[in-house]
Structure 1
Amino acid sequence: MAQPVTIGDIVENWTPRPHPLSNPQHHILQGQYCRLEVLTSTNDIVIQQLYDAFKPTEETHFKYLGYGPFKTVDEFKQFIYMKEQPSGSNVLYAIFVNDMAVGFITYLRISEEHGTIEIGSVNLTFGTFGYRRVVWSCNALNMKSRVAALRFGFQYEGTWMKAEVSKGRSRDTALFSIVDDEWSQIKEEFQRWLNPENFDINGQQLTKLNGAKVNPRHHKITDSS
């Protein structure tokens, strides 16, 4: 007798998700401690602030990345321009604290059809756009990035061996994810951690963020091991 074929669960009433920039209201995102604004290579003031903020000439900042360092602000500006191409495939946000640009984040590998997106604003991704899956990927040797992914609630999925040749070196890529039905508990942990009562008068945290342990998938893995 033929064995039944196991296939994935039916996704009821599925429709493609909206692109992050399809709604102009999402071009500026105001949070509790910072503000995100869409970043373009034409904003010279913000480009200069970013260049000054994270010292992109320092080799150590780019040890595990496929780009950088940048010798000049024009070289950095060209990098931002290339990240914008082709239009819509990546979405860059500058991070502002006290009206000063201090960093940037990126949505990439956006799949509206499948509702998946690589790392960006997790709350917006699930809560506003209805995406099903957010991915965090990094050089498998980058332990700081791997620890950060777990701290933020991402779960390790595996490693793509020999995924890239980066700066003449072989790179393995570690993959982590959060899916939509895990987000509510992780979001509560972020809200607990970011509560002003969790910080002393010097702004130091009283208890740490531990998103990994509140992720329901973490308990499934632990219970089955």
Structure 2
Amino acid sequence: MKLNEFGQPVGEALPEWQPVEPPTISCIEGKYCRLERLDAHRHAESLYQAFQQSEDERNWTYLPYGPFTSLQDYRDFLVGMANKSDPYQFAVIDSATGNAVGTVALMRIDVTNGVIEVGHLVYSPLMQRTAMSTEVMSLLLEYVFFTLGYRRLEWKCDSLNAPSRAAAVRFGFTFEGIFRQMLVTQGRNRDTAWYALLDSEYSRLRVGYQAWLAPDNFDAAGMQMQRLTDFFDVD
């Protein structure tokens, strides 16, 4: 434990630390998908059609917006989102079809302390339970930690959103607690579950992501042979 001159415990010194840059990249290429800076005019129609593949509106339950009843309403919403630098929104493009199938964002960007959050994950049925959904996270982790040099990536969700909480754990995030009565979302109280992943932790998980995304981890139907967490367990 490090003590200062007064005998008080203090955190690790970071003499080399410098503030980082905000996200500015326009495209991140992967094997199964790519992330393109959100453009309402280019992406709205294919995103709206992708979301129409859902049997019901359950994917919007825990979001502060949606569902959208018309393409024009959704396009108007995307125009507002695309003009913001925080959240910095991406459209997820299926490499096989060239169509936008979901959205994700980097947000609450704190360049001074090197902290950033991944949020606004809205995945259509066309990318749910596919390699794309995991590759999106792998691409963002690589960009956040290795390209930009952030120290901490956060994941927050409604504490009642069990699928989102399970996804955070699967992707290697650590649960840090519940912030009670943090938000009012669509007229309801939201207690928020907080998760985070540190740069040092991602350095260990990075190889696991690469191994899971390798072609030989998928059968002819595109189903995984081994789980992502299986690769994390290997030293």
- TM-score bracket, normalised by the shorter chain, equals 0.7 to 0.9
Does residue 10 of the first structure (1) align with residue 38 of the second (2)? no
Deviations 1:81-111 (A, max 9, x none): 33245x4222111111121111111011011
Match of 2:128 in 1: none
Partner of 2:72, secondary structure, is helix
Once residues 141 and 212 of structure 1 are traced to their aligned partners in structure 2, the CA distance between those partners, rounded to angstroms, is: 28
Q: Following superposition, which runs of at least 4 residues in structure 1 exceed 3 angstroms of deviation?
A: 211-216
Match of 2:192 in 1: 173
Q: How does 1:75-154 map to 2 (within 5 A)?
A: 75-84=73-82, 87-97=84-94, 98=96, 99-119=98-118, 121-154=140-173
Once residues 39 and 187 of structure 2 are traced to their aligned partners in structure 1, the CA distance between those partners, rounded to angstroms, is: 29
Percent of paired sites with the same residue: 35
Is the Cα–Cα contact under 8 Å of residues 208 and 232 in structure 2 kept in the other structure? no
Deviation at 1:197, TM superposition (A): 1.0
- For 1:55, the aligned partner's letter is Q
Deviations 1:129-172 (A, max 9, x none): 00000011110000000001100101101110001111111110
Please tell me the root mean square deviation across aligned C-alpha atoms, in Å: 2.3
| Structure 1 gap ranges (5+) | 217-225
Match of 1:70 in 2: 68
Once residues 16 and 186 of structure 1 are traced to their aligned partners in structure 2, the CA distance between those partners, rounded to angstroms, is: 24
Once residues 91 and 4 of structure 1 are traced to their aligned partners in structure 2, the CA distance between those partners, rounded to angstroms, is: 43
Is the Cα–Cα contact under 8 Å of residues 108 and 117 in structure 2 kept in the other structure? yes
Match of 1:158 in 2: 177
Aligned length: 208
Deviation at 1:211, TM superposition (A): 7.5
Partner of 2:228, secondary structure, is coil
- For 1:176, the aligned partner's letter is Y
TM-score by length of 2: 0.82
Once residues 126 and 162 of structure 1 are traced to their aligned partners in structure 2, the CA distance between those partners, rounded to angstroms, is: 31
Distance 1:75 1:160, change over 3 A: same
Partner of 1:190, secondary structure, is helix
TM-score by length of 1: 0.85
Distance 1:132 1:180, change over 3 A: same
Partner of 1:183, secondary structure, is helix
